[in-house]
């Protein structure tokens, strides 16, 4: 069955078409083009019957109405049927992206201790036990946020694009910033993984998010990098909430 997955961000929207578990298509577009693009997908991937939308509140009313008029719509929220036991103390504040990532881990690594690291605007850490219980994790500033903070909160530091430094010892201001940000993130991630491994011996680590490729080669820990993990998790949630 063809499913459409829509992940709505602040200004960009990720669209993905799945046939069962197989990802056929994905694209990131500006939110203003969402109806036009979905209309094209309706023709190219007919028949898409079901759609899941993450972050419904960020859609314009007219866009949401269009989706509801043409598809069976599932809205992801804190009361959606999920494939794991949620032991987070404030489940209503748990980000929808983190819910999707945890769901993907249950589908692809069932009954494993899994640490999911999403390296995006923020770096989120989410842990699921081998009995499919979600316990929580951590949130820290992402790579770009750290560069922006150095620039915005100081008088003289420039705004730099991420760059892997050759040496931890920076010999210029730019080199020092790259060393502080990039090595800081890498050491943080490796350190978090080691902490979890001390407590959970059989640990699977997933790295995803926009900076996953940038960071993955620098990490000393053994990881699985998957840039589609969030979309796959949303598709899995759609499947278990489906009326068919």
Known binding-site positions for ATP = 7-14, 121
Q: What are phi and psi of 201, to 5 degrees?
A: -65, -45
Catalytic residue among 39, 77, 97, 175: 97
Q: Before 47, cis peptide (omega within 30)?
A: yes
97 given a catalytic annotation = yes
Measured distance between the N- and C-terminal CA atoms of the chain, rounded to whole angstroms: 10
DSSP-based helix, strand, coil % in the chain, nearest 5: 40, 30, 30
In 3D space, the residue among 160, 161, 207, 202 whose CA is nearest the CA of residue 186 turns out to be 207
Judging by DSSP bridges, how do beta strands 133-141 and 122-128 pair with one another? antiparallel
Binding site membership for substrate: which residues?
A: 88, 95-98, 173
Active-site residue numbers? 97
């Amino acid at each position: 069955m063809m499913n459409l997955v829509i992940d709505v961000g602040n200004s960009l929207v990720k669209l993905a078409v799945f046939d069962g578990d197989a990802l056929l298509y994905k694209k990131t577009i500006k939110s203003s083009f969402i109806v036009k693009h979905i209309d094209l997908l309706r023709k190219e991937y007919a028949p898409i019957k079901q759609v899941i939308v993450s972050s419904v509140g960020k859609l314009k009313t007219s866009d949401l109405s269009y989706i509801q008029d043409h598809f069976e719509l599932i809205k992801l929220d804190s009361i959606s049927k999920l494939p794991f036991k949620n032991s987070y103390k404030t489940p209503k504040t748990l980000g929808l992206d983190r819910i999707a990532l945890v769901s993907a881990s249950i589908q692809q690594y069932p009954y494993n201790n899994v640490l999911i690291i999403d390296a995006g605007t923020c770096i989120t850490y989410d842990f699921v036990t081998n009995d499919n219980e979600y316990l929580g994790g951590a949130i820290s500033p992402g790579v770009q946020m750290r560069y922006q903070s150095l620039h915005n909160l100081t008088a003289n530091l420039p705004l730099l694009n991420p760059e892997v430094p050759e040496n931890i010892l920076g010999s210029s201001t730019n080199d020092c910033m790259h060393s502080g940000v990039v090595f800081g993130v890498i050491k943080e991630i490796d350190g978090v993984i080691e902490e979890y491994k001390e407590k959970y011996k059989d640990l699977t680590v997933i790295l995803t998010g926009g900076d996953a490729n940038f960071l993955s080669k620098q990490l000393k820990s053994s990881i699985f990098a998957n840039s589609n993990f969030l979309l796959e998790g949303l598709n899995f949630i759609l499947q278990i909430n489906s009326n068919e």
